[in-house]
Structure 1
Amino acid sequence: MNNLTGSLVTLLTTAVIPTEDYGSGSGTEDYDFITDTPCDKSSVRTFRKYYEPPLYWLIVILGSVGNLLVIWIYTNFKNRLRTMTDVYLLNLALADLLFLCTLPFWAADAMKGWTFGTAMCKGMSALYKINFFSSMFLLTCISVDRYVVIVQTTKAQNSKDLRLAWSKVICGFVWLLAIVLSIPEFLFSRDKKDFQGNHFCTMVYWNNEHNRTKILVLALQICMGFCIPLLVMIYCYSIIIRTLMKARNFEKHKALRVILVVVAVFILSQLPYNSMLVVEATQAANTTITDCDQAQDYDIVTQIMKSIAYMHSCLNPFLYAFIGVRFRKDLIKLFYKFGCMSRSKSSKTYGHSRSSVMSDADSTMALSL
């Protein structure tokens, strides 16, 4: 964190001339990548107008329902927060909900441009990035906790109370680190107007040699928001898979499928957009896209990849919570309590619930089925 703070301070003292990031942001800027030559991007704005709002609202609705159900369960069952994974899941649901709160603003931006001013631009951009980073870090913490519980079972059982206490400290550190990593959004986001009078919320970087500011910001997002979480998840889940393969339990195959789905969804949703960020960082270092048509295609593809990445926030409750036996049982209890399900249906559902090799009385591991 000290190195990151030092880098940001260095950026503050080495450049003072702003330069618009016309290769990112809303994707509606009427300039190409290297010059101030006008480039008509009305086709990009038209695409965003009809593509993003309905998709973003669908993500908001589905994600809100799933994450609110997770929070509903935790608030109604006071003894629910008994493991590290419980604490991480609750914080993950909160992070995803706050992230979803920003999508209506980007949907409005796609329809009629940014009409909320620079202060809201900074606020929404920072809120988006805080919860993006916190979600990625919490998913990483969940994979590490699964590794400890499954691979180091004895150690995990002997240190349950200590690990539960540390989970709260870790969550506090995760949120603090996410806030630090969102500092560029506070510094560089602003409401800009193009030569046609269209407003957009975008990053406006300082003009220093070789666009070092922009490259650093993109590198932070790619490394901290994708590469490191992915590497940790692959390592932890590969060891878990090896452990499960040695287990003599017929339901271990279900647990293996859950792991594969979790990793596959993470890669398929995050890799395409982060690949586009790598292209953008490459552009900042050594511009290769100079044609207006290519710039338009890049903007459209980036918007598609970004929307795919956003879908992960509405999938998290189902990937990490509701596939667990205890979560499903608690949800059924709440439905019955509030009259949403009959007693006969509740009993029938309970009768068909089975625990797998991963479920136990003290864990809400999402590997349980």
Structure 2
Amino acid sequence: MFLLILLLVLCVVAFLTGVPLNSYVLFVAGCRVERTVSAMWFWNRALADFIFIIFLPIRLISLSDFDCTWKLSSTITSLHMFSSAFLLTALSVDRCILAACPEWAQNRRTLPLAFGVVMGLWALSLGFSLRYSDLSEYLLPLPMIRRYFHPDAGRVKAAIAIQFLVGFLIPLALILIPTFYIVLAAKLRRNRLIQSTKPLEILLGLIPTFFLCWLPYHVFFFLQISDIYPLPLLQIGIAFACVLTYFSSCLNPIFYLTMEEEFRRYKQRACKSQTSDNSGPELDE
């Protein structure tokens, strides 16, 4: 009973914190989404978090009944996982290009290009979420779900492996590569935009926020299909892992807003110290 109350309290805190924060990011980024590439990244990332957190009450209600509401909630969870990983990867690469190659970004980093990338990532996320959302119905050990849902064991294990690779491990590797380059370039002082350690601190805080919050989710998926640990223990672990994923949607807006402000200041410094030729188009950061 104590654990149930604790979970409900954590869910309420996540909901009451995440909805206002992500709504604010949506509003701030939305005011500039037609003018800046950064606003488009931030707006879509906040949209993914907002959609995820707003369905939290529906997920809690649907635990008592196996119907279309539960299936929708499972699909939203998968959509958020994939879209968050893909958008965070794109955002990290974009930050790396902006910091390391400001001249290239000034000429080639355009809104139509960013819009096309964002639409492609959403389509890819939706495709994966529709393909594997039914697995959560099997992996969350509700008796009434197990009674009607009996997928092939080989398909479940293969899908869990693919979900982990595509939604976690591969994006992590793709994010660490540009981040490592930024750290190396900052040490070598190759660019005035990345001499300060402040943007590195922001990136190094943003990256583990997502991956550490979602790591237990994937771990308990693997434990669930292994049939090694007792079912009650797995139920508790899965419940806390799911709550932890919602808290990632509360922390992300703080990092995004801080990052936006920092990069806008770096752009102003670079424009003042880099060159006296101001005839070209400005970066939007």
TM-score, normalised by the number of residues in structure 1: 0.64
The 1:186/1:268 distance shift into structure 2, 3 A limit, reads: closer
Instruction: Quote the residue 2:284 is aligned against.
Output: 363
User: Alpha-carbon deviations, 1:294-343, whole Å to 9, x = none?
Assistant: 3322221232223222211111111122443279xxxxxxxxxxxxxxxx
Distance 1:295 1:86, change over 3 A: same
Q: Which residue of 2 aligns with 1:280?
A: 224
- What CA distance in whole angstroms lies between the structure 2 residues aligned with 1:180 and 1:128? 13
Q: Secondary structure at the match of 2:149?
A: strand
1:118 pairs with one of 48, 67, 77: 67
User: Displacement, 1:220?
Assistant: 2.5
**For the residues of structure 1 that align with 2:176 and 2:269, how far apart are their CA atoms?**
21
Q: Where does residue 239 of structure 2 map in the other structure?
A: 303
Task: Give the structure 2 partner of residue 15 of structure 1.
Answer: none
Would the aligned equivalents of 1:85 and 1:363 in 2 still touch at CA under 8 Å?
yes
Q: Which has the higher helix share?
A: 2
Maintained 8 Å contact 1:143/1:237 = yes
Specify which of 74, 81, 90 is matched with residue 141 of structure 1. 90
Displacement of 1:230: 0.8
Query: For residue 216 of structure 1, what is the aligned residue in structure 2?
Result: 158
Matched to 2:5, the amino acid is Y
**CA deviation digits over 1:101-141, x for unaligned, max 9?**
221123335xxx423x4221212211221122112211111
Which of 161, 165, 184 is the aligned partner of 1:242? 184
Q: Is the 2:21–2:253 Cα contact (8 Å) retained in structure 1? A: yes
- CA 1:150–1:250 in structure 2 vs 1: closer, same or farther (change >3 Å)? closer
Q: Tell me the equivalent position of 1:93.
A: 46
Alpha-carbon distance change, 55 to 249 in structure 1, aligned in 2, over 3 angstroms: same
Distance in 2, Cα, partners of 1:103 & 1:225: 20
Equivalent residue, structure 2, for 1:156: 105
Give the aligned CA root-mean-square deviation in angstroms. 3.1
Task: Give the Cα separation in 2 of the matches to 1:49 and 1:65.
Answer: 25
Rounded Cα–Cα distance in structure 1 between residues aligned with 2:188 and 2:94: 20
Give the match for residue 24 of structure 2. Answer: 69
User: Does the C-alpha gap of structure 1 residues 192 and 302 become closer, same or farther in structure 2, counting only changes over 3 Å?
Assistant: closer
Give distance in 1, aligned partners of 2:188 and 2:23: 37
Q: Is the 8 A contact 2:25 2:43 kept in 1?
A: yes
Q: Please give the secondary structure, in 2, of the residue aligned with 1:252.
A: coil
Cα distance between partner residues in 2 of 1:270 and 1:187: 18
Q: Distance in 1 between matches of 2:266 and 2:81?
A: 32
Equivalent position SS for 1:362: coil
Establish whether residue 179 from structure 1 lines up as the match of residue 126 from structure 2: yes
Unaligned stretches of 5+ residues in structure 1: 1-45, 328-353, 365-369
* Distance change (3 Å), C-alpha of 1:48 and 1:175: farther
Max Rg structure: 1
In structure 2, what residue type is equivalent to 1:100? I
1:19 aligned residue: none
Give matches, 1:312-351, under 5 Å: 312-325=248-261
What percent identity do the matched residue pairs reach?
Answer: 23
Query: How high is the TM-score relative to the length of structure 2?
Result: 0.82
| 1:13 paired residue number | none
Secondary structure, counterpart of 1:114 in structure 2: coil
Q: Is the 8 A contact 1:122 1:185 kept in 2?
A: no
Q: Distance in 1 between matches of 2:94 and 2:5?
A: 42
Matched, 1:169 2:116: yes
Q: Distance in 1 between matches of 2:150 and 2:200?
A: 45
3-state DSSP of counterpart to 1:321: helix
Q: How far apart are the structure 2 equivalents of 1:355 and 1:240?
A: 18
Corresponding residue pairs, total: 270
* Closer, same or farther: CA 243–82 of 1 in aligned 2, 3 Å: farther
- Please list every run of 5 or more consecutive structure 2 residues that lacks an aligned counterpart in the other structure: 271-281
Match of 1:337 in 2: none
